[in-house]
């Protein structure tokens, strides 16, 4: 390469660097404008709104007046049993839902990865299907399948002699978990299956040579080698479960132990739309946002530690 073209090249590159700033701005503007308008601005506005309470004036005729109340809404939220109960409900739900869902996903993924499995492509597609169904429609379908008379599943259940009582806490927990397990297990199967494809063949061959049978290889070696993927999926499932809304909303007409403030999102929704207490809704929404943000930050930190 001659010196002339080198200088020409570096001039072009230098010029393109300088132009880069302008272009970067044009390329980034659509994202940042939308992000500021629809994520940052609402949060800032809610922060402002959360410092006020609505006071109905005197006779209740003149509408409501907005009164500055400082951090009173936050203090109220942190002592509000109904708001805090939502977090407890989710915690109890997670204790059941997550081990079952993740455990089932892992077992099915290992089965799918085993040499004996046939029709893998079909199975993967079939397992993924529920993930396509919106949570709300899945809940509609399952509510029918929980209805005595319509559903053969209830008949089968009752033939065992047990009563079908959707009103109990246990029934609410189980019927809700079944919907979310149905929705999300397949996705995690595909995810774990993808992780299993990356387990080095030599390791598996070594195990076989050493006399480990297929079941032992699956649980002692394959499952351990994808533990990183399993932990990350578990933690993301927790973050997702915290935001539960559509499924319990639909189920509460049937499972009566689910009330209208059963999850934090349901509580916030009710505060804003049934009680029109916008200041309080804003405060609880922000507390919830900070909680979820901190949780996902911890998850990401933990996830990258597992990955490296």
Partner 1 sequence: MSPLTTQPATTGTPALPAPLPPAGAPKRRQTRSGWSSKLAVNIMLGLFCLYTLLPLTWLIVASTKNTSDLYGTSGFSFAEFNLIENLIQLFTWENGTFLRWMANTAAYAGLGACASVAVSFLAGHAFDKFDFPGKERWFGFVLVGVLVPAAVTTMPLYLLASNLGLVNNFWGVFLPQIASPFGVYLARMFSASYVPKEIIEAARLDGAGEFRAFLTIAAPLMKPGIVTLFLMTFSAIWNNFFLPLVMLSDTNLFPAALGIYSWHGRTLADPEYAQLVVTGALVTIIPVIILFISLQRFWKAGIGSGALK
The stretch near partner 1 (CB under 8 A) out of 58-66, 70-78, 93-101, 109-117 is: 109-117
Among 51, 98, 232, 255, indicate the residue that binds partner 1 (CB under 8 A): 232
CB 239 within 8 A of CB 292: yes
CB 51 within 8 A of CB 69: yes
Residue 28-57 contact track with partner 1, rule CB under 8 A, x = bound: x-xxx-xx-xxx-xxx-xx--x--------
The single residue listed with the structure tokens 């609505």 is 54
Q: How far is CA 33 from CA 39, 58, 152, in A?
A: 10, 43, 53
Among 52, 93, 97, 123, indicate the residue that binds partner 1 (CB under 8 A): 123
CB 206 within 8 A of CB 296: no
Of 169 and 275, which has the nearer Cβ to partner 1? 275
Among 55, 253, 274, 302, indicate the residue that binds partner 1 (CB under 8 A): 253
To partner 1, the closest distance from the beta carbon of 85 in angstroms equals: 18
Q: Does 212 bind partner 1 (CB under 8 A)?
A: yes
Q: In whole angstroms, what is the distance from residue 60 CA to residue 40 CA? A: 35
Of 79 and 210, which has the nearer Cβ to partner 1? 210
To partner 1, the closest distance from the beta carbon of 174 in angstroms equals: 15
Q: Does 227 bind partner 1 (CB under 8 A)?
A: yes
The stretch near partner 1 (CB under 8 A) out of 61-69, 75-83, 158-166, 280-288 is: 280-288
Among 6, 20, 168, 260, indicate the residue that binds partner 1 (CB under 8 A): 20
Q: Per the structure block, which two tokens stand in for 50?
A: 């959360």
Count of helix runs (H) and strand runs (E) in the chain: 15, 2
Of 131 and 257, which has the nearer Cβ to partner 1? 131
Of 49 and 77, which has the nearer Cβ to partner 1? 49
Chain positions 161 to 200 lying near partner 1, rule: CB under 8 A, are: 182, 185-187, 190-191, 194-195, 197-200
To partner 1, the closest distance from the beta carbon of 5 in angstroms equals: 10
CB 139 within 8 A of CB 246: yes
Q: Does 136 bind partner 1 (CB under 8 A)?
A: yes
Q: In whole angstroms, what is the distance from residue 278 CA to residue 104 CA? A: 42
Q: Does 283 bind partner 1 (CB under 8 A)?
A: no
Output phi, psi for 298, to 5 deg.
-60, -40
Q: Is 89 exposed, middle or buried (0-12, 13-18, 19+ CB in 10 A)?
A: buried
The stretch near partner 1 (CB under 8 A) out of 57-65, 72-80, 91-99, 245-253 is: 245-253
Q: In whole angstroms, what is the distance from residue 265 CA to residue 263 CA? A: 5
Residue among 80, 92, 13, 137 nearest 261 (CA): 80
- Taking only Cα atoms into account, the Rg of the chain, rounded to an integer number of angstroms, comes to 27
The stretch near partner 1 (CB under 8 A) out of 58-66, 73-81, 167-175, 236-244 is: 236-244
């Amino acid at each position: 390469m001659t010196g002339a073209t080198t200088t020409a090249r570096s001039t072009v590159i230098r010029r393109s660097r300088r132009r880069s700033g302008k272009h970067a701005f044009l390329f980034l503007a659509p994202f940042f404008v939308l992000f500021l308008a629809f994520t940052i601005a609402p949060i800032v506005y809610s922060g402002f709104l959360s410092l006020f309470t609505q006071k109905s004036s005197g006779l209740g005729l003149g509408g409501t007046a907005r009164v500055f109340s400082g951090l009173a809404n936050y203090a109220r939220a942190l002592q509000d049993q109904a708001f805090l109960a939502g977090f407890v409900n989710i915690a109890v739900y997670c204790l059941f839902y997550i081990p079952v869902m993740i455990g089932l996903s892992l077992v099915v993924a290992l089965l799918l990865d085993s040499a004996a499995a046939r029709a893998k492509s079909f199975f993967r597609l079939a397992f993924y299907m529920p993930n396509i169904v919106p949570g709300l429609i899945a809940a509609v379908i399952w509510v029918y399948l929980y209805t005595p008379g319509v559903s053969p599943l209830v008949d089968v259940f009752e033939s065992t002699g047990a009563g079908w009582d959707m009103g109990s806490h246990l029934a609410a927990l189980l019927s809700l978990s079944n919907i979310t397990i149905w929705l999300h297990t397949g996705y995690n199967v595909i995810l774990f299956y993808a992780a299993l494809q990356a387990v080095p063949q030599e390791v598996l061959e070594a195990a076989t040579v050493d006399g480990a049978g297929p079941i032992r290889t699956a649980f002692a070696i394959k499952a351990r080698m994808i533990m990183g993927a399993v932990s990350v999926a578990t933690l993301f499932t927790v973050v997702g479960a915290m935001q539960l809304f559509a499924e319990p909303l639909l189920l509460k007409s049937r499972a009566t132990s689910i009330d209208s403030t059963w999850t934090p999102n349901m509580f916030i929704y009710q505060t804003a739309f049934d009680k029109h207490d916008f200041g309080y809704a804003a405060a609880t929404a922000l507390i919830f946002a900070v909680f979820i943000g901190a949780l996902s930050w911890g998850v990401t930190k933990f996830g990258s530690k597992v990955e490296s």
